[in-house]
């Protein structure tokens, strides 16, 4: 007897909206529930960061609506997107709102859910693998490692107005978080690096930019806080990118499993190469 992994999973009902995460890129990182929703939804309202390969799992005849928001480019207003979900649900459609990563990690999922509540539309949250974890894993960089850090901070590099958030306590984060993972920070790396160095971080601290994470076009730039701005400009790399600051970046020569598939020789002992240990 064959096993059907979808047989006991929930089903999108007409007039309902599912807010789901598609993961950082690789369609293999979709959850079973998100994959099932793709095959059931009448309308899929998707973000710019959803891999086209994920959308190929949509059922035949499903309507695909683009609702991407990219910094510095013309984008739909968030309020309009939220009200579009209401409109579609009220028309009796089974609606999948598909976002890159996780809908509740810098994904505006909470804002959209609140609008649905305000209009009496039933919804479900389907978590996804956020790029700050899954994307870094595809680059061979763990967000935590017992020999290096016992804490990690996730933050966004720009607010709703497109500038570096002034509500972030850079001094506290710079002093207290051994590893910092930043979304939407690439274009503001000069300002952010200056904040962190002023807070006491070393200009020589390792930094990595993971662009197009977990896709066939993934590229990784390893640099330092002091050189980050110049190296990004010289590289020609563009967002979307996840940026990570901290000693965990030094583990990449040992954990770059994708590189190993292409012939890279991995180091069995990264600490022998000078990785600093946390005494905690």
Judgement on whether residues 169 and 111 belong to the same structural domain of the protein: no
Q: Quick one: pLDDT at residue 161?
A: 74
Number of domains in the chain: 2
Instruction: Name the pTM for this structure.
Output: 0.91
DSSP E strand boundaries for 50-131:
63-66, 95-99, 123-126
- The parent domain of residue 62 ranges over 17-129
**pLDDT of 159 higher than 90:** no
Average confidence (pLDDT) over 42-48? 97
Where among 129, 144, 162 does a domain terminate?
Answer: 129
Q: Which residue has the higher pLDDT, 275 or 82?
A: 82
Identify whether residues 121 and 140 lie together within a single domain: no
User: Does the pLDDT value for residue 278 go beyond 60?
Assistant: no
Q: Confidence band (pLDDT; 50, 70, 90) for 279?
A: very low
Count of all residues that appear for the chain in the document? 280
Out of 73, 107, 129, pick the residue that ends a domain.
129
The pLDDT of residue 63 is above 60: yes
Residue-level pLDDT at 128? 98
Which residues neighbour 143 within 8 Å (Cβ) at sequence distance 6 or greater?
132, 133, 136, 152, 179, 181, 244, 248
What does the pLDDT look like over 65-113, one tens digit per residue?
Answer: 999 866 555 678 999 999 999 999 999 999 999 999 999 999 999 999 9
Cα gap 49→212, rounded to integer Å:
9
Residue 156, both tokens? 């966004």
Higher-pLDDT residue of 167, 20:
20
Which residues touch 118 (CB under 8 Å, ≥6 apart)?
Answer: none
In this prediction, residue 275 carries a pLDDT of 45
The region of weakest confidence among 36-40, 50-54, 115-119, 161-165 is 161-165
The span from the CA of 102 to the CA of 86, in Å, is: 21
Average pLDDT, the chain: 93
User: Any idea which of 7-11, 61-65, 206-210 has the lowest mean pLDDT?
Assistant: 7-11
For residue 22, the domain's CATH number is 3.40.1010.10
**Same domain assignment for residues 140 and 224:** yes
β-pairing, 241-245 vs 180-183, is antiparallel
Give the residue from 103, 129, 155 where a domain finishes. 129
CA dist list (Å): 228 to 109, 145, 150, 204, 242:
31, 23, 25, 10, 13
By annotation, the residues acting in catalysis are: 47, 69, 184
- Pair 146, 175: CB distance under 8 Å: no
- DSSP tag of 268: S
Query: What pLDDT does residue 280 have?
Result: 35
- For residues 175-197, give the mean pLDDT: 97
**pLDDT at site 269:** 85
274: pLDDT strictly greater than 90: no
For residues 126 and 77, the model is more confident at 126
Residue 231 has pLDDT above 80, yes or no: yes
The residue written with tokens 């770059």 in the block is 256
- Domain of residue 169, CATH code: 3.30.950.10
The angle subtended at Cα 175 by Cα 172 and Cα 178, nearest 5°, is 115
């Amino acid at each position: 007897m064959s096993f059907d992994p979808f047989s006991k999973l929930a089903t999108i009902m007409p007039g309902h909206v599912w807010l789901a995460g598609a993961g950082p890129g690789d369609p293999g990182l979709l959850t079973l529930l998100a994959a099932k929703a793709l095959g059931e939804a009448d309308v899929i309202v998707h973000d710019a960061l959803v891999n086209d390969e994920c959308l190929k799992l949509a059922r035949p005849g499903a309507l695909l609506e683009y609702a991407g928001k990219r910094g510095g480019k013309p984008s739909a207003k968030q309020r309009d997107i939220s009200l579009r979900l209401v409109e579609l649900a009220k028309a009796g459609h089974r609606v999948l709102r598909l976002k890159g990563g996780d809908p509740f990690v810098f994904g505006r999922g909470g804002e959209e859910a609140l609008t649905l509540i305000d209009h009496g539309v039933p919804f479900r949250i389907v978590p996804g693998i956020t790029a700050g974890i899954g994307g870094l894993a595809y680059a061979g960089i763990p967000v935590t490692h017992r020999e290096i850090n016992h804490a990690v901070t996730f933050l966004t590099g720009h607010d709703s107005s497109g500038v570096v958030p002034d509500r972030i306590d850079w001094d506290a984060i710079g002093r207290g978080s051994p590893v910092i993972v930043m979304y939407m920070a690439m274009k503001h790396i000069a300002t952010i690096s200056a904040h962190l160095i002023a807070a006491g971080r070393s200009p020589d601290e390792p930094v990595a930019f993971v662009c197009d994470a977990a896709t066939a076009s993934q590229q990784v730039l390893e640099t330092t806080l002091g050189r980050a701005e110049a190296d990004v400009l010289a590289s020609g790399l563009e967002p979307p990118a996840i940026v990570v600051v901290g000693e965990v970046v030094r583990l990449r020569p040992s954990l770059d499993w994708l590189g190993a598939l292409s012939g890279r020789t991995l180091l069995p002992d990264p600490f022998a190469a000078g990785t600093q240990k946390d005494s905690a």
